[in-house]
Amino acid sequence: MQASPITVPSGLIDMLRTARSVTVLTGAGISAESGIPTFRDSQTGLWAQYDPHQLATPEAFAHNPKLVMDWYRWRRELVERAAPNPGHYALAQIEQRVDRFTLITQNVDGLHTQAGSRRVVELHGNIHRLRCSSARCAYTVDHWPDEETPHCPQCGALLRPDVVWFGEMIPPGALQAALNASRNCQVFLSIGTSGVVEPAASLPYEALRAGASVIEINPQPTPLSIFAKYYFSQPAGQVLPEITRAVWDEV
Ligand code: BV8
């Protein structure tokens, strides 16, 4: 299907050209064009019978650590086979063009860093890292051991993915960085997120309250859409390179 042409309004071009501070929030949608299913998409294959909201919890891990580790191992293999798409690369280019730029991501796939973004706040952690499940132990490791349910070499507790599960607090440093960046920006881009999960979903509203203009990119409207100064309904992998080209004449 021929994608609908993307027009970048002149007001948006002027706004981004003169902006000194830009904050971006991304969700699973920006990795969709890299072949990683979003949370909203139905899980495939073996995992179709499970609800991610049920699996991504400390209760699920305590009840059946092997099931949860198998799910994450499956998702990590999807991520390992995925590559950043033009949307990820465009955001890395924008970071080079703006004085104060922060990219807040809800994704755990690490694709923004892989695409060259540096000012990244991983609000929900990273699937490539494991950490000790004991609150009293700070052990982390950035590769997955072969065992199905590996144990911490320091204290013997189970290792778990270094991600934030539902019902868990966002790491205070990451949350504070995300709030600061949302409250101190002139332009806030919300890209590929359904805006359901808190506290990430509140970040664009923090920006609006502080007087920022919001740009939203999502094929589906969200509760934020009516507050966006500019809304694009095409995929992020098509829109972001167009915006970068129009504002900074870059390919
Ligand atoms: C917390 C890591 C304190 C794990 C994830 C206040 C109100 C209501 C509920 C709560 C609240 N405060 C806390 C809660 C509970 C809960 C919550 O928000 N529940 C929801 C379900 C209502 N939040 C928490 O528990 C958070 N902790 O607040 O601590 C606390 C604690 C206990 C009780 C109270 C307070 C922790 C949340 C973190 C959970 N971990 N991920 C893992 O990944 O396995 S969240 C996970 O789901 C993702 O990281 C992501 O954030 C979320 C999915 O959201 P999206 O990224 O938006 O993805 P989604 O699939 O929904 O949408 C994709 C979008 O992309 C769609 O709109 C689609 O149209 C669009 N799209 C598709 N293709 C494209 C595209 N867009 C552009 N281009 C395309 N090509």
4 inside domain: no
What the block records as the tokens of 73 is 């191992």
Q: Are residues 41 and 141 in the same domain?
A: yes
- Are residues 50 and 72 in contact, defined by beta-carbon separation less than 8 angstroms? no
pLDDT at 45: 62
3-state SS record for 226-240: HHCCEEECCCHHHHH
On the 0-12 / 13-18 / 19+ scale of CB atoms within 10 A, 78 is middle
> In angstroms, what CA-CA distances link 206 with 85, 105, 212?
28, 16, 9
Number of C-beta neighbours around residue 247 at 10 A: 18
**Which residues lie with the beta carbon below 6 Å from any ligand 1 atom?**
27-29, 32-33, 38-40, 53, 56, 106, 108, 124, 163-170, 192-194, 196-200, 217-220, 222, 235-237
- Boundary-marking domain end, from 105, 134, 163: 163
Distance (angstroms) between ligand 1 centre and the Cα of 92 equals 23
- Say how many Å lie between the CA of residue 232 and the centre of ligand 1: 21
Question: Hey, whose CA ends up nearest to atom 9 of ligand 1?
Answer: 198
| Position 3 in a domain | no
The Cα 154–Cα 136 span in angstroms is 11
Tell which atom from ligand 1 comes closest to the C-alpha of 222: 67
- What are the residues facing 25 on neighbouring strands? 104, 190
Reduce the secondary structure of 64-125 to three states and give it as a string.
CHHHHHHHHHHHHHHHHHCCCCHHHHHHHHHHHHCCEEEEEECCCCCHHHHCCCCCEEECCE
Give the pLDDT score at 211: 98
pLDDT value at position 193?
A: 97
The answer on 213 and 102 residing in a single domain is: yes
Mutating to test ligand 1, I would choose from 107, 124, 197, 239 the residue with most ligand atoms within 8 A of its C-beta, which is 197
User: How many whole angstroms from 107 Cα to the centroid of ligand 1?
Assistant: 9
What does DSSP assign to residue 200? G
Which residue of the set 53, 124, 128, 143 is catalytic? 124
Ligand 1 centroid – CA 196 distance (Å): 6
What does the pLDDT read at residue 158? 98
Question: In this structure, are 180 and 196 located in the same domain?
Answer: yes
Q: Say whether 124 is catalytic.
A: yes
Q: Whose CA is nearest to atom 57 of ligand 1?
A: 193
Which residue owns the Cα nearest ligand 1 atom 3?
A: 169
pTM higher than 0.85 for the full model? Answer: yes
Q: Point out the ligand 1 atom lying closest to the alpha carbon of residue 72.
A: 44
In-domain check, residue 5: no
Could you tell me if 76 and 51 lie in one domain?
yes
Same domain, 115 and 135: no
Query: Which atom number of ligand 1 is nearest to the Cα of residue 195?
Result: 57
Does 113 lie in the same domain as 71?
no
CA of residue 48 to ligand 1 center, whole Å: 19
What is residue 124's predicted lDDT score, i.e. its pLDDT? 98
Range of the domain at 207: 10-36+84-124+170-249
According to the model, what pLDDT value does residue 91 have? 98
**pLDDT averaged per 10 residues in sequence order, the chain, 251 residues:** 81 98 98 89 68 92 97 94 98 98 98 98 98 97 95 98 97 98 98 96 98 98 98 98 92 48
